[in-house]
Amino acid sequence: MQDAIYIGLINNAALLLSLGLLYELTGFRLKGSGSISQQLLIGFILGAIGIAIMLNPWSFGQGILFDTRSVLLCITGLFFGTIPTLLAMLFTGTFRVFLGGNGVLVGVAIIVSSGAIGLAWRHLRLHKGKAPSFAELYLLGVIVHLAMLAWMLMLPANTGLEVLKHISVPVLLIYPLATAILGKLMENRRIHKLADLRIKQSEEKFRNIFQHHSAAKLLIDPDTGKIIEANEAAGKFYGWSTSELKKKNIGDINDLTPDQVASEMAQAKAGNRTYFEFRHRTASGACKDVEVYSGTVTIDGHKYLHSIIHDITERKEAQRQLAERRQFLGSVIKTTADGFLVIDAAGFVTEVNNAYCAMSGFSRETLVGKYIGELDATESEEETKARLEHIKHHQALIFESTHYHADRDTFPVEISVSHIGDDNGTYVCFCRDLTARKQQEQQIAALGEMLDAAPVAVLLHDHDGKLIFANHAACIMHGYDNRETFMERNLREFMVPEMRASFPQRIKQISEKNELRFESTHVHRDGSHFPVDVIVRLIDWEGQRAYLAIKVDISEQQKAQEAITHSNELLRYIIEHANSAIAVHDCDLRYVYVSKNYLEQYKVSESEVIGKHHYEVFPDLPQKWRDVHQKALQGEISGSERDAYPRENGSIEWTRWSCLPWFEPDGAIGGFIVYTEVITDRVRAEEALRESEEYLRAMISAAPMAIISTDVEGVVQSWNIAAQRIFGWSEDEVYGHSPPFFSAKQQEEFFRLRQHVIRGETLSKIDQTRTRRDGSPVEVSLSAAPIYDAAGNVSGMLAMIEDISSYKRTKQERDDLQAQLIQAQKMESIGRLAGGVAHDYNNMLGVILGYTEMALEKLYEDDPLHKDLSEVLKAAERSADITRQLLAFSRQQTIAPKMLDFNEAIAKLKSMIRRLIGEDIEFIWHPGSDLWPIYMDPVQVDQILINLCVNARDAIADIGTISIETDKTTIDEEYCRNHYDFIPGDFVSLSITDNGCGMDRQTRDKLFEPFFTTKVRGKGTGLGLATVYGILKQNNCFINVYSEPGQGSTFTIYFPRYREKDQPAESKPALAHTNRQGHETILLLEDEKAILQMTTLMLKGLGYTVLACNTPNEALETAAKQPIQLLITDVVMPEMNGRELSERLKKHYPDLKTLFMSGYTANVIAHRGVLDKGVNFIQKPFSLSSLAGKTRDVLDT
């Protein structure tokens, strides 16, 4: 069956992955990505895929189906969001219901949980912008399918366990992997989609730049010369519309021959040239000079020329005019590349050469007549005049300055000025553009800074080893702080002799290969040697051949490599000589390495195992070890410190073993390692030692007294649990230190006692005061004795310390306990007394009431005795009310629950609550609307409200607020899982809040315990909240208490919602009988003779035939002789109770009716004070009219 499970699950997973791959390959796309319509369509497609894989499930039987819908739904939730997931869940859930079977509910639950986990994972991921890794997707799969396996427990017990037994391992092996693979397919789909979007955006951006650029642009096919695209600026420049231009060939507008055009395009396409100058025709027929910047772009795999065209007609014209001017000054400045200017005495330019025009960007016309100060970007007008005066007097001057370029940028210049003639003479200036030199200087400076910041040594030297440049790291590497001192040395001086000898050969190799890498050994300034890794490249440096060397000190690297080699050798040595047998396996369970101990322990040779499958070597290996190997391959570590291993001869060997995965450099699991060590002898020795130590440790740990041992210097060597309990310090804190439980004043006393013990004396029961960790004093009794070593010398002291603080607190505790006991006994006695007195008193009152009523029946109202007997009757009735109150106090009275509107109940009690809490406390009531009814005794509701309001009042010191709020609420299963004493359902809530002193955690924990109170002695019994709690439990209610010290308290009570069907059938109201007489035969049983006689007279007076009995057995004998229609019996009697008697009589008289009478409702006929259904009951004492009406009601129903 197991093979079928794997095959079925793998087939279904393969189907899902195939459908997922098909979904990816179809490249499904819609406009309006992310729209509701697309999400619905995606959900429809994924739902269809789910149904497809559900059509090919693996069936466990009994309608229990397994497929990969859980994989599909969790991946849908993770990658597609809420709407597609819900739609897919609806499709698959509906189809699962359609398929039917015992697993329908579980199948639907798995669908819901799988989709929900995927959605939760989507929204709660820590790195939402980051693509999920394979490991994360695998973890998602594990969680989803652990949930799926948990749902199997919903199946009938035997079925669920059977399913889990067969399916757990296959599901956890296959489904998480399928989840990870499908997730990666979806992630690849998302990445491809994002790449497509970016390409489209890039194309759109390029199109916008192309179309709206101010310069004329053409996109040309270099193979045909056809104009593929033209922008608006091109249309304006050429005079044709863009559509007309796209119909032309580049040869149509270029004045070159077709061959020349093809040649130029070939160079542009090859990238040999990017700048061209042509003459282009326009729509008007005129030709314009243009400069063309052309580069290749690739669109849809085809190369095009992207050309930018500038009109340079005017520039060409200016160049032609400049050529004419150049002829005029050619004899003077033709041979110089520097700028040349002639300046008159006033500082205005009268002549300028082309070189200066080129470097400044100004035309000759612009420059001629311009004041020289307008070209200088550094000097003010006054400074320029001063410089001219200086030159006039000194005839010549060379200086550096900065001139303006025509585009208002600046460029550095070196100026050489000579003054010619007298004061009205002219100035001849030669200007050299220093831009290139300055840039080179800046580049060299920046390069030097970068090289100095480099962490490796950088050297530049010639073929003889003369240093041209060395960075800071090179100096430090060789022990030099000063660069100048280092540069005075030759590179060969830093080499060991053998490397120095091979230097010419190295230079030759570098010259031939242009680059060489090798390792060398250099000499430090202090004479030490160190290895370096060297890379040398031949370069051109200022027109000369030079050698750029980059050197790295690899001392640490070599040390690390040596350490690794040594570590590997040491590791192999340790493994070979370790006590453990060690075997290393790869992922295919083939042996990679085995230790010597392994071969000896398992009696195999290395050639028999290396490269072989583990189960091939040991084919009978138990399943336990096969499971351990699979766990290791999944990344789990297994092991046991002590494991029994049965041998073939029946003996047991004890082993210590562990099995753990080993990992490849990329983090993947490469296989597992098994360590096994035979520890039989050690286990036996440890068991013997452990039993001995455990015996001694148990004695010390269980001792009620602190047992402490010290050495001769008083340093603690042992410290038992009782010592920690008495003094507060743990053994770890005091071990190796002097005992901390005495103050500085007690040090001398401790020293004196220790000296007595070290001399061999024994101390017994010395009372002392010591100090606990919290600083509080503790009264102790000390006994101590010396500890001897093997030589008979005193090596320490053993002290036994008894905490006698409790003894000294005994009297106070005895008084407190006595008071509490008296209070409890008082309450118990009062309760018993109340119940007992009320019961006996009720019997006497019943006689008084009965005979009085019968006497009144015989007298006329004007009879003087009638008035007296009426007073007797009233007094008896008042006494009966008192007994009812006593029964209520002792909880022996019947409760009468009924349907209540909670707001109405509070409204009736509101005025009383205001009187109870007083005028200084504000009372606020917030009644909830449309409350559900509750089913409860109104008296108990009043008791709850009054107790809680009085408790809130007592928590408020002066003025404050008490608020009562009602509402309706529904408690769900999630809330109940965190609150074990609640059950789900609808409830009416009552919250009573005060802003009083509040309570701490310790107080809240004991809040409902009987006799617990925070009030001063004599101010409370501690039974108020305990009574409330009992009432709530009796009525299936719950309570929550929230309180913090100084923040007040809130008591919230939840009353179950009353539903009419929950209410027990109420007895019908007593019928108003005009005729109270009867003729039936009644069997009357009462063990109290006075009541028996009185009740007999009452019933006979009403016309009934009465068979009076004093005991149950007598009643049984009487009933056997004569038919009866009604049994009236006391509840609690000797021999048997009234209910047992009634059941026995009904065997003979099935239609017999019974009326129970008692002073209180015993559990015989009631539950929690509520009468059992169908029980007829009359409360003692009763009047004649009550008895007559109740008897008639019972007989007539």
Cα–Cα distance between 479 and 489 in angstroms, integer?
13
Q: What is the mean pLDDT of residues 138-153?
A: 86
Residue 1038 contacts residue 1051 (beta carbons within 8 Å): no
E strands, 1099-1193, are 1105-1109, 1126-1130, 1153-1158, 1166-1167, 1170-1171, 1177-1179
Q: Under a CB-based contact definition with an 8 Å cutoff, are residues 1156 and 1177 in contact?
A: yes
The Cα 1141–Cα 1052 span in angstroms is: 46
- 620 and 538, same domain (yes or no): no
If asked whether residues 1026 and 931 sit together in one domain, one would say yes
Residue 1053 lies in a domain: yes
Q: What pLDDT does residue 618 have?
A: 87
The region of weakest confidence among 132-141, 604-613, 879-888, 1050-1059 is 879-888
For residue 879, pLDDT beyond 70:
yes
In a domain, 1071, yes or no: no
CATH of residue 471's domain is 3.30.450.20
Give the angle subtended at the CA of 643 by the CAs of 642 and 649, to the nearest 5°.
130
- Residue 1065: its pLDDT value, please? 44
One domain for residues 102 and 224: no
Q: What percent of the chain has pLDDT over 90?
A: 15
Distance between CA atoms of residues 1135 and 781, nearest Å? 60
Pick from 889, 919, 939: which residue ends a domain?
Answer: 889
Provide the pLDDT confidence category of residue 962 given band limits of 50, 70 and 90: very high
Query: Where does residue 1165 fall: left (phi above 0), alpha (psi -120 to 50 degrees), or beta otherwise?
Result: alpha
Instruction: Report d(CA 532, CA 522) in Å as an integer.
Output: 7
pLDDT at 159 over 60: yes
The reported pLDDT for the residue numbered 273 is 76
List the strands of the sheet with 1038-1043, edge to edge: 921-926, 960-971, 985-994, 1049-1056, 1038-1043
CB atoms within 10 A of CB 747: 12
Model confidence at 1154: pLDDT above 90: yes
Q: Which residue, 767, 799, 831, sits at the end of a domain?
A: 799
Q: Taking a C-beta distance cutoff of 8 angstroms, is the pair 1087, 1111 a contact?
A: yes
Question: Do 707 and 800 touch, CB atoms closer than 8 A?
Answer: yes
CB 1130 within 8 A of CB 1165: no
**212 touches 231 (CB < 8 A):** yes
The band of 328, judged by pLDDT with boundaries at 50, 70 and 90, is low
Local confidence band at 986 (pLDDT 50, 70, 90 cut-offs):
very high
Residue 1075 domain-assigned? Answer: no
Higher pLDDT, 731 or 438: 731
Return the higher-pLDDT residue of 770 and 967: 967
- Record the tokens describing residue 94, joined without a space: 């509906």
Residue 35 and residue 143 in one domain: yes
Q: DSSP state, 334?
A: T
DSSP assignment of 660-702, as one string?
Answer: EEEE-TTS-EEEEEEEEEE-HHHHHHHHHHHHHHHHHHHHHHH
Nearest residue to 831 via CA among 869, 887, 776, 877? 887
Q: Nearest 10 degrees: CA dihedral of 362, 365, 367, 369?
A: -160
Q: Where are the beta strands (DSSP E) in 554-590?
A: 581-586
CA distance 1183 to 1180: 9
Q: In this structure, are 1087 and 1002 located in the same domain?
A: no
Half-sphere exposure of 1095 (CA within 13 A, CB side): 32
CA gap 41, 49 in Å, rounded: 12
Average pLDDT over residues 1015-1042: 74
pLDDT at 824: 43
169 and 52 housed in the same domain: yes
**Do residue 279 and residue 266 come from a single domain?**
yes
d(CA 352, CA 404): 15
pLDDT at 659: 92
Q: Give the CATH number of the domain where residue 935 resides.
A: 3.30.565.10
For 317, the token pair is: 């014209």
Amino acid at 195: A
Which residues partner with 1043 through β-bridges?
Answer: 1049
Distance CA(144)–CA(111), nearest Å, equals 10
Count Cβ atoms below 10 Å from residue 595 Cβ, excluding itself: 21
- Of 503, 523, 558, the residue that ends a domain is 558
- Could you tell me which of 499, 457, 464, 502 has the C-alpha nearest to residue 479? 457
Write the pLDDT tens digit of every residue in 382-415. Answer: 888 888 888 888 878 888 899 999 888 899 999 9
If asked whether residues 374 and 285 sit together in one domain, one would say no
pLDDT of residue 588: 92
Question: In the prediction, which pLDDT does 238 show?
Answer: 87
* Domain-located, residue 819: yes
**Which residues face 460 on adjacent strands?**
469, 548
Residues 1139 and 1085 reside in one and the same domain: yes
Are residue 279 and residue 333 in the same domain, yes or no?
Answer: no
Residue 910 near residue 872, CB atoms below 8 Å: no
Residue 297: helix, strand or coil by DSSP? Answer: strand
Supply the DSSP string of 806-823, one letter for each residue.
Answer: HHHTHHHHHHHHHHHHHH
pLDDT of residue 21: 57
Alpha carbon 494 to its chain centroid, in Å, reads 60
- Hey, what amino acid is at 8? G
Q: Looking at the domain assignment, is residue 320 inside a domain?
A: yes
C-alpha neighbours within 13 Å on the C-beta side of residue 348: 8
Q: How many domains does the chain have?
A: 9
The pLDDT-based confidence of 839 (bands split at 50, 70, 90) is low
pLDDT higher than 80, residue 34 = no
pLDDT score at 1067:
46
In a domain, 1067, yes or no: no
- Give the SS3 label for residue 777: strand
* pLDDT for the residue 14: 62
Structure tokens at 364: 């000759």
What CATH number has the domain bearing residue 1177?
A: 3.40.50.2300
CA distance 1172 to 603: 80
Report the distance separating Cα 480 and Cα 762, nearest Å.
Answer: 76
What pTM does this model have? 0.30
Over residues 369-388, the pLDDT tens digits come to 999 888 888 888 888 888 88
Is residue 442 scored above 60 in pLDDT? Answer: yes
Taking each helix axis from N to C terminus, what angle separates 104-124 and 82-99, rounded to the nearest 10 degrees?
170
Residue 284 lies in a domain: yes
Q: Which two tokens stand for residue 656?
A: 């210590």
The continuous run of DSSP H or E covering 531 comes out as strand 529-541
User: Which spans in 1068-1180 are helix H?
Assistant: 1089-1101, 1112-1121, 1138-1146
pLDDT surpasses 70 at 352? yes
Stretch 286-291: mean pLDDT:
89
Q: What span, in angstroms and rounded, lies between the C-alpha atoms of 948 and 1052?
A: 10
Query: If you average pLDDT over residues 1063-1083, what whole number do you get?
Result: 64
Residue of 857, 845, 847, 871 lying closest to 1076 (CA atoms): 857
Mean pLDDT across the stretch 951-966?
Answer: 90
Is residue 31 predicted with pLDDT exceeding 60? no
Q: Give residue 827's pLDDT band: very low, low, confident or very high (50, 70, 90).
A: very low
Write out pLDDT tens, residues 545-587.
Answer: 899 898 888 888 888 777 777 767 776 776 766 778 889 999 9
pLDDT higher at 910 or 688: 910
Domain that holds residue 840: 812-889
Q: Which two tokens mark 485?
A: 């001192």
Cα 606 to Cα 854: distance, rounded to the nearest angstrom = 115
Query: CA-CA distance, 859 to 856, in Å (whole number)?
Result: 5
Range in 318-332, 349-363, 846-860 with the lowest mean pLDDT: 318-332
Question: Does residue 565 form part of some domain?
Answer: no
Side by side, which strands form the sheet with 716-719?
Answer: 716-719, 706-711, 794-803, 777-788, 763-771
The lowest-confidence range among 225-229, 792-796, 819-823, 1156-1160 is 819-823
Query: 621 and 596, same structural domain?
Result: yes
Per the CB < 8 A criterion, the answer to whether 643 and 622 are in contact is no
The position carrying tokens 């009720």 is 842
Stretch among 473-482, 569-578, 828-837, 1077-1086 having the lowest mean pLDDT: 828-837
Is residue 1014 within a helix (H) or strand (E), and if so which, with residue range?
none
pLDDT single digits (tens) 1102-1128: 999 999 999 999 999 999 988 999 999
**pLDDT over 50 (residue 29):** no
The answer to whether the peptide bond before residue 455 is cis (omega within 30 degrees of 0) is no
Per-residue CA distances from 944 to 610, 899, 911 (Å)? 81, 17, 16
User: Considering only CA atoms, which of 1013, 1039, 1009, 1042 is closest in space to residue 1027?
Assistant: 1009
**Sign of CA pseudo-dihedral 814, 820, 823, 828:** negative
Q: Kindly report the length of the chain.
A: 1197
Q: Which residue has the tokens 């005009």?
A: 1074
pLDDT of 977 strictly over 80: no
DSSP structure class, residue 495: B
DSSP, collapsed to helix, strand or coil, labels residue 1039 as strand
Give yes or no for residue 353 having a pLDDT over 70: yes
Q: Are residues 332 and 294 in the same domain?
A: no
**Look-up of token digits 């979904």:** 23
Q: Is the pLDDT of residue 134 over 90?
A: no
